[in-house]
A and B are shown apart, each in its own frame.
Chain A
Amino acid sequence: MKHLLIIEDEILIQQSLKKLFERRGFKVDVSASGKLAIQMILSYNFDRIICDLMLQDISGFDVIEESKKKYSSNEISQKFVIMTAYNSPQVLSRANSYQCRLLNKPFDNLEEAMRLMTE
């Protein structure tokens, strides 16, 4: 696995994660905008997509929905990692419906979070 996409509009988080993954040898692309991210997902083949839910333009769920044009639901459950600071029951149940990994922000343990995002 080589190529990651990080969709996160908080620039400090986005850039920090980018650096952390690059140091571990990943190729990392980033987007702060959900709409741009959709373009990127449709044009490139990422091995993993780490997606924040609360973006400025659209929600992370919208990004996943749009990705269905390209990926099967099985692929979506493999490729996407959802990051969120709002773990309300509604958000959780929707995230679960995609069966992808879910990470709460802030991470309790950075190492563990990195492992979960890339394994």
Chain B
Amino acid sequence: MENRSNPINQTTTKLIAVHIDPAIFGDFSDTFLDPSIFKLVSEKEAQFCLLKKKSRLWAQFSDGKFCDYPYYLKNISRLIEGFKSESIQRHYPIEAFQSFIKGTEVIEKKIFSNASMSPGENVKDLWDEIIKKVNFISSESHSLKGLVEKILEIPFLQNFQSSMIVLHLKGQTKAELMGTMWRSEKVHTLIEIKDFNTFFNSIRKSKTKSFSTDDCGKVNLPFNGSFLAKEVISKKYSLITIVSRHDFLNYSHEEIELYETCIYLLQPHFERLIDQEFSDKKISELRICLKDFPLPLRIIDNQSGSVFINDLYRNELQDQDIFFNKKIKGSFSLDLYDSDELRHYAFDLFHFQRISLLGELLNTLRHELSNPLFGLKLSSQIFNTLDINPDDKSFMQEIERNVDRCQSIIENFSNLYQIQPETKPILLKKMIDESLVLAKSEIREVTKKITYDDECEKIILNVPLIFVVQILFNLIVNAAQAMRGQPERATLGISVSIHDSNVLIDVRDNGPGIPGDKSINLFKPFFTTKLQGTGLGLVLSRNLTIKMGGNLEYLPNKNEKGAQFRLTLPIT
């Protein structure tokens, strides 16, 4: 490669730093760079360009290959544009070049005049030292704080007293100031996001990057005097780096340039350490979540065989109790167990999901239907006040009544599916009637026999209406579906009676009934005899009953055909 490093052209030189990815281009990198177009400068010269011109361009040669720092890349398309016209196409079609670009990164094309290409030995030496040190501290730092402290070891910063950063992770409400003062004292404070933004913008807009603590707005830096600052922006965070000598003298151009360049060089390391700390935090929070997860849980790494279990996991849990199994990233699999805890929590969740989904749907429906219904009502009211013949009048009144009915049905529905159920005294009869209205389409051709023992029609229960209606609706629909298509007349019986201080609501049908072997599984989740059942209806219902201090059971119907469920609720 040495012999390729032509002397710098006397007029201008296009310096394009390219990272040749050997995985893609292998040994072709030499051929790829046509020396008649690209002047290859030596490493030191390139570094000096960077130093002198405050350029973001940074190229490093190693074994004849350029390496770049990926965060400097810009305008790839512009570069491709440049290549299109160059003779490079003779050797490689543009597609190949584009795929090459994808595999690597390219730095902005920049023109350097020859004049700036004569570095003095001192600067080059200092630069060497800085590079070495930056590489050293970044490889030595395993934490963000460590890196911030070590910045002060960079040669030209040796008489500086403090180094700190203000970090704002996107989405957080506060920014964090951390670092070191007087080279030993640790600093850590939180900054309001509003103040941080003002501070950040003033630094971003500044051309000199040299500030005084008086310029900081509402941000209180823990020292007085002038300081150098540089902002760094990434997708995930905004960062301000600060160094200060704790005096009131201005900084020289060289210091400002060197500092900026160092921060450029350190940027990927900031990125890496922030990422790492971020994910460490995430992992530890996740661990806590999993540990306290309210269900027995086991995660197995199928590759290494290692197992994570949480506090509720018990050894007596068997494989057949696994209720939920999911392959997760990599070789991990997660098991949740069917257990009391599961019943307790998970069905609340199922219930909640159902209700909130339906509630949302019904709310939309209500809003969409209310307006046209109201229009119908108003216009029929107007017709009613006109002097029209009595026949037409009763016709219009019928329209009005129907509109009212539609309105009340839709309102009842949406009141029913409130997420926070209201508990208030309600006539049991009203709840049964409501459930029958809801199930109307299912029980169209079914004979209904609803009987109340003495005084039972007057029973008032202090329970959430929605719970009882949901349970009864479920039982009624189950009964109706079981009887569907049978030759004899389908009959649904609901009888209400009192036993001790409980009210018993029996829901019977004359369908095929439930075979003895299946009845033991009735209240198990996901057990269903229906083709399209979820197997959740009865489980949810029983869960709701238990919440109300009652019970839901299946009563085998020995003498008659059909199934019978009994809902027991306490009378308060």
Residues of A within 8 A of B (CB): 10-13, 15-17, 19-20, 85-86, 105-107, 110
Contact = CB atoms under 8 A, between A and B. Distances in A.
11 contacts: A10-B371, A12-B372, A13-B375, A16-B379, A16-B381, A16-B382, A17-B378, A19-B382, A85-B370, A86-B367, A105-B374
Contacts, number: 40
Nearest to A15: B379
Given A10-B372, A11-B375, A16-B378, 13 more contacts: A10-B371, A10-B375, A12-B372, A12-B378, A16-B375, A16-B381, A16-B382, A85-B371, A86-B367, A105-B370, A105-B374, A106-B407, A110-B381
Contacts of B379: 12, 15-16
Interface string B389-418: 000000000000000000100000000000
Interface of A is mostly: helix
A106 B381 contact: no
A115 B376 CA distance: 21
Contacts of A86: 367
Contacts of A10: 371-372, 374-375
A10 B377 CA distance: 12
B374 A13 contact: yes
B382 A20 contact: yes
A84 to B, nearest CB: 10
Contacts of B375: 10-13, 16
Contacts of B514: none
Contacts of B407: 106
Interface of B: 367, 370-379, 381-382, 407
A105 B369 CA distance: 12
Pairs of residues from A and B, 10 with the lowest C-beta to C-beta distance, nearest first: A12-B375, A16-B378, A106-B374, A13-B375, A16-B379, A10-B371, A85-B370, A10-B375, A12-B379, A105-B374
Nearest to A20: B382
A11 B372 CA distance: 9
B536 to A, nearest CB: 32
Nearest to A11: B375
A17 B381 CA distance: 11
Q: Which of B367, B371, B407 has the most CB of A within 10 A?
A: B371
A108 to B, nearest CB: 11
A31 to B, nearest CB: 16
A76 to B, nearest CB: 25
A13 B371 contact: yes
Contacts of B377: 106
A53 to B, nearest CB: 11
Contacts of B370: 85, 105-106
Q: Which of A12, A86, A107 has the most CB of B within 10 A?
A: A12
A107 B371 CA distance: 11
Contacts of B371: 10, 13, 85, 105
A13 B376 CA distance: 8
Contacts of B374: 10, 13, 85, 105-107
B367 A85 contact: yes
Contacts of A106: 370, 373-374, 377, 407
Contacts of A85: 367, 370-371, 374
B464 to A, nearest CB: 24
Contacts of A11: 375
